[in-house]
Amino acid sequence: ISGVLLTGKKSETVNAIKEGFVTFSGFYRGFGQVVFVQASNKLMYVYTGLENISVNKGDKVKFGDKIGTLGIDMHSGKPQLNFMVFKNGSPTDPAKAPRG
């Protein structure tokens, strides 16, 4: 699985980088607490390694809305977010994914 690891401070706020609808919010095996946001551009934005989740399935989020707080990564033991973007089910480069 490709994505980017973003480091931060434990319990730091994690904000949505793209407007969309929450399609999944909860525990996802191997990734801990996870939020999936489906944007109108058909890209799926995935935030993993959250300590707490502030949104529920079906919620609409706007750019900058709080989706949760940063937790401790299950694999590294450090506070970091694994951020992934998918297009038609295939991973795409998060650096090239539209924001806002």
pLDDT tens track, the chain, 100 positions? 578 889 999 999 999 999 999 999 999 988 889 999 999 999 999 999 999 999 999 999 999 999 999 998 877 889 999 999 999 999 998 988 888 8
Instruction: Report the mean per-residue pLDDT for the chain.
Output: 92
Name 94's Cβ contacts closer than 8 Å, sequence gap at least 6.
Answer: 3, 4, 83, 84, 85
Give the β-pairing of 20-28 and 32-38: antiparallel
| 20-48 pLDDT tens trace | 999 999 999 888 899 999 999 999 999 99
pTM above 0.75, yes or no: yes
Looking at the chain, the number of H-run helices and the number of E-run strands are 0, 9
